[in-house]
Structure 1
Amino acid sequence: MGVQRLVAALVTALLAGCGPATAATGEPAPRAARPAPQRTYAVGVRHFVVDPGGPRPLPVTVWYPAAPPTPAATMLAATPPAATPAAATTAVPAVRPGVPVAEGRFPVVVYSHGLRSLPELHAPLTTRWAAAGFVVAAPTFPRTNLRARDFTRADVRNQPADGWRLIRHLVRLDSRDGEPLAGHLDVVRIAAAGHSAGGFTTAGMFVPGHSTRLRAGIVIAGGGLAGSFAGPVAPLLFVHGGADPIVPESVGRAAYARSLGPAAFLGLPGQGHGEYLAPGRPGFAQVLATTTDFLRWTLYDDRAALRRLPTDALLPGVTTLTTRALPA
């Protein structure tokens, strides 16, 4: 089956229904956000497997802010207003395996790949988020990844529960003796994000009564699952190409309309299923800036990033922006 027919069938199946996702149990104690970083970081990477002996082992790639910051990093408070944190991340981050985590706690982004993909194929975006001050944990899903021996698109319905399984694992890691990430994960400030089938996976993590650890979502070239976008209400950002031949923009627009609470839709007229995720392609700078602003606002309570978002999102002829109920 061709890729377009494969994902078209996926959309039909997922809109019809899905298996239940399991949220993290117990609500975390409130904790004030640390100030949003005013510099870029070098990036570290490590790998581990969640439940290696279980029925669904989940390999995970983690990109994180590394110490020390990059030599070129500057305190943005001393730079002109146009030099925003989002713009500072457009450079290619230096990624080093196993280096120490930068000082402090960092919010977490759980990033889900699409069909026949892998976490490392999304590194142009995820490493730049890490450079901006986020820990990005990207699972390799057992039956939809590029190297899966028993590939089946139907397994996407099980992936939201995998996402919550990863969140519970990260909560444990943050307090585990001898764990390099311990004390560096702000596990009460988590976002979910994903592309294509990973976007549907992200939507499916917003199950009824989900833990308030999950504070925001970014759905890229995806849509909603049956029962998704339930409370607690969390801000959502949708990113979609206007000429997407695999997941039509109308699917993303319908999910945007169904979502609860504050939401934004970044459109890329004339673009397809994800070329705007490649550095140097039209729209990449706007997608990067908008997603980074959104994460800074929702996970760091950075109101300056929220105010920047409409300007950072728009490039005439390349992007459009629709918003609903965003705070003033």
Structure 2
Amino acid sequence: MGVQRLVAALLTALLTGCGPATAATGGAPPGTGRVASSGHAPQRSWPVGVRQLTVDPDGPRPLPVTIWYPAAPACPAGPPGPAGPASPAGTGGPVPTAGAPVAAGRFPVVVYSHGLRSLPELHAPLTTRWAAAGFVVAAPTYPRTNLRAADFTRADVRNQPADGWRLIRHLVRLDARRDDPLAGHLAVDRIAAAGHSAGGFTTAGMFSSGHSARLRSGIVIAGGGLAGSFAGPPAPLLFVHGGADPIVPESVGRAAYARATGPAAFLGLPGQGHGEYLTPGHPGFAQVLATSTDFLRWTLYGDPTARQRLPTDARLPTVTTLTTRSLPH
């Protein structure tokens, strides 16, 4: 079976969840390169705020979005955010505060896509840590593939890359809206897409012919490519995949890695399945977190030292492997 037919079969067969200071402001303008100009990503950690909004609430595909963001230090205590007090607090991660003031500065944006029968908050152990590291993470709840969808439809994954782009356009408008708390805090020329399982396929589908140069990089976790993926301006891509994944075989992720047209890295987790390495405390989580965070620091902040750390970030003998292609030194 060819790779495209295998991917189509997988998308039909997936039945379960795919779910478990001031920021730097430099960077090349859109269209001048796939990695921001040389800079230094913040190494500090922020408290995390969270808010909810809905894109096109009256349209045919309303898109609820959870946004985690760096919050101002010593922000007043507020109610816990939608991740809930047990997640990720029970895993030692940041506890997001609903409506916390946004930290000073402009922060790169990560659009994070959940998998089938999942929700953004189920990925909070990863997304809140990215927010604490200096990124605004916007996670849509896709209308027909989320855990609570009344008309769940696996095939709707093919429509989700367009939803991701709708969200990006909304964030661009929001950043210019003076009365919004996030206005002036979003580095909308430095955006990454990331996602798990069906969300990984969604992420790959956002890198299609003619895509905006705002989209600087991508992280595909336990996923592969959709038809038309990896076209347009080349962008750095990080693939993360378990070697014994029973839902999306590692070979699908490897095939997508081989098709990437720009710099690429493949973080493998031999013997692991569809996403247990996204659980704090599980073998491989620390390496996935460190590698993905430094990948975002490199591609969105333009930090060359973060790129240089990637091999060390990823290395844990018998637990992880790292393959790279065309990464700059």
Give the TM-score of the pair, scaled to structure 1.
Answer: 0.85
CA distance in 2, matches of 1:11, 1:293: 30
CA distance in 2, matches of 1:11, 1:52: 27
Aligned length: 291
Change in 2 beyond 3 A, CA 1:164/1:322: same
Which residue is equivalent to 1:243?
244
- Secondary structure at the aligned position of 1:137 is classed as strand
- Secondary structure at the aligned position of 2:180 is classed as coil
- Secondary structure at the aligned position of 2:292 is classed as helix
- Summarize deviations over 1:281-300 as a string: whole Å, max 9, x none: 00000000000010000000
The Cα RMSD (Å) is 2.0
Whether contact under 8 Å (1:191, 1:215) holds in the other structure is yes
Which residue is equivalent to 1:146?
147
Which residue is equivalent to 1:40?
45
Deviation at 1:10, TM superposition (A): 3.8
Deviation at 1:140, TM superposition (A): 0.1
Deviation at 1:231, TM superposition (A): 1.8
- Secondary structure at the aligned position of 2:252 is classed as helix
- Summarize deviations over 1:33-55 as a string: whole Å, max 9, x none: 87411200000000000000000
- Secondary structure at the aligned position of 2:218 is classed as strand
Confirm or deny that 1:54 pairs with 2:59: yes
Which residue is equivalent to 1:262?
263
Letter paired with 2:142: F
CA distance in 2, matches of 1:10, 1:242: 16
- Give 5+ residue unaligned stretches, structure 2: 1-6, 15-28, 76-90
Change in 2 beyond 3 A, CA 1:236/1:123: same
Which residue is equivalent to 2:11?
11
Change in 2 beyond 3 A, CA 1:69/1:199: farther
Whether contact under 8 Å (1:10, 1:154) holds in the other structure is no
CA distance in 2, matches of 1:212, 1:254: 24
- Summarize deviations over 1:3-28 as a string: whole Å, max 9, x none: xxxx98443689xxxxxxxxxxxx95
Which residue is equivalent to 2:204?
203
CA distance in 2, matches of 1:39, 1:111: 22
Which residue is equivalent to 2:68?
63
Give the TM-score of the pair, scaled to structure 2.
Answer: 0.85
Letter paired with 1:36: A
- Secondary structure at the aligned position of 1:40 is classed as coil
Which residue is equivalent to 2:276?
275
- Secondary structure at the aligned position of 2:108 is classed as strand
CA distance in 2, matches of 1:259, 1:165: 24
- Secondary structure at the aligned position of 1:310 is classed as helix
Change in 2 beyond 3 A, CA 1:174/1:62: same
Which residue is equivalent to 1:296?
297
Whether contact under 8 Å (2:10, 2:247) holds in the other structure is no
CA distance in 2, matches of 1:41, 1:311: 24
Structure 1 range deviating more: 165-174 or 90-99? 90-99
Q: What aligned pairs does 1:162-201 form with structure 2 within 5 A after superposition?
A: 162-201=163-202
